[in-house]
Amino acid sequence: MALNPCELEIDLLCRGIRIPGDVSLDGARGISRTRAGLGSGLEIVIPTGSWWKDRLWVNVPVEESFARQSPYVLAGSPAAGYHVRDERSGASHAIEIPREPAWYTRATTRGIPMNRIGVLQGTYLGIYVNLVCTFWNYQPAVNCRFCTTGQNVGEHEASDKAVSDVVETCRAARDESGVTFVHLNAGFQGTRGIQFAEPYVTAIKEEVGALVGAQLAPEKDFSRYDRLIDLGVDHLSFCLEFLSPEWFAKICPGKQHVLGQQVFLDSIEYCAKRMPKGAVSGEIIAGVEPIEETLRAVDLIADMGAFPTVCIFRPTVGSDMESWPSPAYEDMRRVMVHVYEACRRNWIPIGAAPNIEVSLVVNPDDTVFLAPRSAGFYTYEAWRRAVRLVARPIFWWRQRPRRRRRGAGIGENPPAPEGDRQAGPGRQA
């Protein structure tokens, strides 16, 4: 049976792709592992030719062992264009491979290549802003078992990013790649993780003017979120990962031991009440815990007014879960249908923000291709279009560079949290 664009996206995320040695990727974005390691694949765009959504961005696994058995094979060339051939059916899907931007290899004034500061993941700029997540410093390490941040920071990306490095990289990405959204993420940094991120948020809002999202380990003092919101953060996301307490504890021992699962849910709920609908997301990984738990997590997050961001589990090379199987396509399709229905039921304005396409996950609005065509579907889609129109000037306004309100200049670095930089076993959030 022919796959629609979102089904193809899901199948590629589950099965990966093979790239024959004679297929040139000259000029393509490099395949490099940064942040938690999930961006380890080939960035592609699937043109849909559809009125509902014209392009889907996907980071397709290449290096993981399951990808070597994939029925999908890349064909074509930079000059002739590319397509993905499905060896099971003989079907061929035209795709685009986005080019690596020129700014990737330019250096900041401190001499650091900009692609060691941030990378494009889809159409947004992703920057890991803290030092290595301290869960990696425990003996034995209590890192999340799917994660490779401890191997990437300092290796594939700069470990110490000055605010000026981040601002210069954001400017280049905005001016040359049309980036509208900068996503700052960080691992666990004790009780100072949010404070550590504040100078970056302030500088980007004031000096660059993009939309800014932050994905930080939750902290129990919720007034810190109020402060981030006051600084102008546009989006907050929380990596709940798993709803089942058993799976949460098993796969995320550091989060379980130091933070506990409940603070993730409480943080989503608190921030979803403080921010406009759709400005908060709860991130979950599908394909590890039983599927019913994932469906419950989707409902729980959407019922709180946040949108569920579902990452299809990728057994990334070098992670503790490297030898785990990749999830089954049928299960993941079922989850994504559920995402659409949960967002529709709760009137979550998915896809409202301009030019934010995340290649590592199935964007909630990609699932429009999976949804049953009912009266509810058409009503929700008409509403989403109206919201996009109304929200356009609001997002334009939020993207303007703001006048500096205090002394935080672009050369000012985040505080060195006393002790937290070397945090070891037993640190509490």
Applying CB under 6 A, the span of 60-68, 141-149, 171-179, 228-236 interacting with ligand SF4 comes to 141-149
Question: What span, in angstroms and rounded, lies between the C-alpha atoms of 86 and 91?
Answer: 5
Contacts with 269 (C-beta within 8 Å, 6 or more apart), sequence order: 304
Residues numbered 222-281 forming contacts with ligand SF4, rule: CB under 6 A: none
Which one, 132 or 210, has the nearer CB to ligand SF4?
A: 132
Subset of residues 346 to 405 that bind ligand SF4, contact rule: CB under 6 A: none
- Select the residue interacting with ligand SF4 from 34, 143, 151, 294 (CB under 6 A): 143
- Candidates 46, 147, 166, 311: give the one binding ligand SF4 (CB under 6 A): 147
- Among 206, 209, 357, 342, which residue's Cα sits nearest to residue 282? 342
Options 144-152, 294-302, 368-376, 379-387: segment touching ligand SF4 (CB under 6 A): 144-152
61 binds ligand SF4 (CB under 6 A): no
**142 vs 208, beta carbon nearer ligand SF4:** 142
44's enclosing H/E stretch is: strand 42-47
* Closest residue by Cα to residue 349 from 297, 241, 242, 275: 275
- For residue 155, the minimal CB distance to ligand SF4 (Å) is 14
State the number of binding residues for ligand SF4 (CB under 6 A). 10
Question: Tokens 């509208």 map to which residue?
Answer: 180
Residues facing residue 181 across a β-bridge: 211
Residues 6+ apart with CB under 8 A from 389: none
CB atoms within 10 A of CB 50: 13
Least gap, CB of 49 to ligand SF4 (angstroms): 36
Does 166 contact ligand SF4 by CB under 6 A? Answer: no
Instruction: Looking at residues 98 to 117 of the shown chain, list those that interact with ligand SF4 (rule: CB under 6 A).
Output: none
Position 36 contacts ligand SF4 (CB under 6 A): yes
Q: Does 130 bind ligand SF4 (CB under 6 A)?
A: no
Cα–Cα separations (whole angstroms), residue 101 to 30, 114, 126, 172, 394: 10, 11, 14, 9, 28
Name the one range near ligand SF4 by CB under 6 A: 81-89, 139-147, 191-199, 271-279.
Answer: 139-147
**Among 57, 104, 181, 188, contact with ligand SF4 (rule: CB under 6 A):** 188
CB of 36 to ligand SF4, least distance (A): 5
Q: Does 144 help bind ligand SF4 (rule: CB under 6 A)?
A: yes
| Amino acid residing at 276 | P
Least separation in angstroms between CB 325 and ligand SF4: 20
Is the Cβ of residue 169 or residue 319 nearer to ligand SF4 in the bound state? 319
Nearer to ligand SF4, 225 or 242 (CB): 242
Residues 6+ apart with CB under 8 A from 64: 16, 40, 314, 315, 316, 317, 322, 326
User: Can you list the pairs that 358-361 forms with residues at least 24 positions away whose Cβ atoms lie under 8 Å?
Assistant: 358/57, 358/121, 358/122, 358/124, 358/309, 359/39, 359/43, 359/57, 359/58, 359/59, 359/121, 359/122, 360/38, 360/39, 360/59, 360/121, 360/122, 360/311, 361/283, 361/309, 361/310, 361/311, 361/312
Please pick, from the candidates 101, 118, 187, 417, the single residue that binds ligand SF4 as defined by CB under 6 A: 187
Nearer to ligand SF4, 144 or 297 (CB): 144
Q: Which uninterrupted H or E stretch holds 174?
A: helix 163-177
**Residue of the chain from 8, 10, 17, 133 that contacts ligand SF4 (CB under 6 A):** 133
Q: Which residues bind ligand SF4 (CB under 6 A)?
A: 36, 133, 135, 143-144, 147, 149, 187-188, 217
